[in-house]
Structure 1
Amino acid sequence: MNSTTALPQLPVNLEDIRQAQQLLAGIAERTPVESSRALSRIIGSDVFFKCENLQRAGSFKVRGAYVRMARLSPEERARGVVAASAGNHAQGVAVAAKALGIQARIYMPLGVALPKLAATRGHGAEVVLHGVNVDEALAEAQHYADQSGAVFVHPFDNVDVVAGQGTIGLEILDQIPDVDTVVMGVGGGGLLAGVAVAIKSMARELGREIRIIGVQAENAAAYPPSLAADALVPLARVSTMADGIAVGRPGQIPFSIIRELVDDVVTVSEDSLARALIFLLERSKMVVEPAGAVGVAALLDGTLNTAGAKPGSTAVILSGGNIDPMLMLKVIQRGLSAAGRFMTVRMLLDDRPGSLATISRIIAESDANVTGVDHTRVGGSISMGDVSITVNMETKGHEHCEQVLLNLRAEGFQPIVVH
C-alpha cells in the first residue's frame, strides 16, 4: 500500500488503539527493544527484537484481554468472564480479571503444559480442563457463556482485543522511528491486525511506507489459503510445536484487516522454528516460546527476502516466552539436529565381538562425541545373528555429519540417520 493512499474503513482504527494505550497505562509493560547484532550480520541489515516475551504473564495477550474487559459495564463485570486458551490468552485474561476484580473461568485443553496451567490458576482464575485442542475448549467456553451469561472474551476475534494488541505497534514506532519492516507470528490474527493498523496508519501520517509481514508455522497456516481465496478457509488439521499460533481458522475481524493492510504472510517449518529457538537462546540469551520465534525463523531462512522485505531496519516481535521446559528439551535436540550439531544413526551389523569398539573408534577419530548408545539383539527388523546399534553423537555442523557418515561407510558400515 502506498503511503499516500487513504486507509480503507476498518473495524479498528488508529484512534481506537491510542485509546487502548491510555487504558493500559500502569497495566501492560512498555517492553524493551533489543538490537540483535548476530542476526543483523546474517541478513545484512539492522534487526531489533520487541520483547513481548518479557511482558506481564509472559506474552502480549494481557494487552487485548485487559482492554476488552476494562470496557465491560458494571452489570457485565458482575456476571464474570469466560475464555479458552492453551496458555497465553488464559494468563492474560487471568491477570486482567484480577486487576479489574472480575471472576474469570477459563477452559484449557486436556494435556495443556503444566507451567501454563499452574500460572493461570496462580493468577486467580478458575480453570476447567476440556477437549483435546483449543477449538474444543473454545466451543465449551462459548457454551458456558450462553448458559451462564458470563461474558466470553475471545482470544482474537474482537475489536477491543485487536486494539489492545495494536498498542505494540505504537511502541515500536516510538522506540524504532526508522523501522522499515515489522515481522510477527500470526495465529488467529489479532496481533497482526492490530499492529498493522497502528503501523500503517502512523506511516501514512509520516508519509512513509513500512512493510508488515506475518509468519505462520507451515502445519498451522490458515492465512495463505484464506487470503488467496479472499474468504476464511479453515484447516482440517493443525500440528505444530508453536501452540500459541496453532489456530485452524482465522478470525473474521482480524482477517478483514489483514487482507487490506498486511504485505505478506509467509510460513516456516518445524525445523526452522527449532533452529530459531536455539539461536535466541545462544546468541540473544532470550527464552522465547515457538510461537514467538517464527519471525526469527523466517529471517534465518531468508524467507523475507522472497517476500519483498526492504533492506532497511527490521523489527521482530517476540510475542511470548511461556515455553514448557519439557518442550524446550525436545526443541533443543531438534534444533541441534537441524543445525547439524547433533546426530543419531542406526546400523544393523553382524553380532560379533569388536563391532561396537570399531564404531566407537571411527566416531572418535572423526572428532565427534558419543552421548548415548543403544545395543539391541532382538526386535522385529533384527535377524538372527544381527544386532542393531543406535548412536547419539555431538557433531560440528552438516559437513562434519557427512564426514562421520563417510568414515563409517568406508569401514563397511551402513549408517542410517534417524531424525
Structure 2
Amino acid sequence: MLKFFAPGVDAPPLSDPDRIDTLYRRHRLRIMLAITLGYGMSYTCRLALGMVKKPLIDAGVFTPTELGLIGSALFYAYAFGKLTNGFLADHANMKRFFAFSVLISAIANIGMGFSTTVALSAVLWGINGWFQSFGAPAGVVSMSQWFSNRERGRYYGVWSTAHSIGEGLTFVAVGGIVGALGWRYGFWGPAAIGILVAIGSYFLIQDRPQTLGLPAVADWRDDHWQGGKPKPEGASVFKTQLQILKIPAVWALALSSALIYVTRYAVNSWGVLYLQEARGYSLAAAGSLLMISTLAGIVGAISFGFISDKLFKARRPPANLLFGLLELAGLWLIFYGPNTGPVLVAGMILFGLGMTALVTSLGGLFATDICPKRVAGAAIGLIGVFSYLGAAIQEQVSGALIDKGLRIVDGVRHYDFGPAVLFWMGASAASLALATGLWRTKLRD
C-alpha cells in the first residue's frame, strides 16, 4: 500500500532546453487545472452539511448542538489529518495521493445520505474530514515542486480560487439539489462530483519534475531567494521538517490562521441558517447571497497573489493588512448593516475579497515563504492542524451559542445570533492583529 503512494525515482536528466521547456509548460498547466478545479469541486463533499442544516433541524433529525458535534468531527479529523498527511505529502506521489483521498471522501458522503443517528453521522463525517485533509497538502506540494519563488504567489492565488469554486458550487448547485430533492441528495450529489474528480485528477496531476528528467523548478527559472543556487541539502527531509518547529513566526502564523478559520467556517457552516432565520431569506436566496461572496473570493485570491508578488515584491504582510481590513468591513455590513439587498451584497463582496485572500496567505502561502521549500507539505500540515482546530472549536461553540439563543414560541423557532456573531468577528480582528505582527519575517528557499 505504501509503495502505491511512493514517488517515482529520478529519471536521467534531460539536456535539450526546448524539450525541458515544453514538458514544464505542459505539466504546469495540467497540474493547475487539476489542483484548482479538482480541489474546488471536491470541496462540495466537505461543505454539504452546511446546506442541509435547516432541513435536518426542521425535520427533527438533529438539533443545532448535535449538528455542531457532527460538523466538528470533520474539522477535528481534518486538523490532525492535515498535519500527518502534510508530512506524508513531502514523501508521496501527488497523482495517487490526491485521487485516492477524493474517492474515499465521496464514499463517506454516500453514507451520510443514509444516516440519521448522531454517532454514525459523526463517524462518517470524521472519515470524510480525514481524507479531505489530503487535498491542500497535495496542492501546495505540487506548486512547490512545479512553480518557483517569485511566481508562486500568483499561482497560489489562482489555486486558492478552488475554495471559492467549491463554496459556489455548494451554495448554488447543492442548495438547488436540496431544495428540489431533499437533504439526502445534498450528500449524494457531492459524492457523484467527487468520484468524477478522483478519476480526472489521476490523469492530470504529475509526480515531481525530476521523475521526468527535468531540473528543479528554481534551477529551471533561476529563481532563488539568495540570488543563486542553494547549498546542497545536508539534512534529511524528516530532520528539515522538524526544524520548522523552531521558527517562532510559524507558530504565530498558525494561531492567526486558526482564528481566521473560525470566521471562515462560521459563515460557511452557519451563514445559510443565519440568512434564513435572522434575515428572512429562502434557502435559494441565502445560497445566492453567499455565492456572491465566493465570486468575490475568486477575485480576492488572484488579486492577493498579484498584489503581494508585484506591488509588495513577494511580501505577504502588507497585503494581509489590506485584505484583512476589507474582510472586517464586510462582516460589519453583513451582521450590523441595514437589512437591505444592496448592503448585504456589498458586505458579501468585501467579505469574499478579504476572506479568500487571507485564507490564501495565512492558510498556506505565507508558510511556504518562511519555511524551506523541500518541506512545504509539513509547513502546510502544521498550519492546517491549527486552522482546523479553530474551525472545529468554532463549530461546537457556534452550535452551542445558537442553540442557547433558540426559543420556540407558538411552534415557531426564534434565533438570537448576537453572541455567535461577536465570537466570529472577534476572531477575525485577533487574527489580523497577529498577522500584522509578522511584518519583517525572514523568507527561506
Q: Which has the higher strand share?
A: 1
TM-score, scaled relative to structure 2:
0.23
Q: Higher helix share goes to which structure?
A: 2
Determine which structure has more spread, i.e. the larger CA radius of gyration.
1
Provide TM-score, normalisation by structure 1.
0.24
Higher relative contact order (CA 8 A, sep 6+): 2
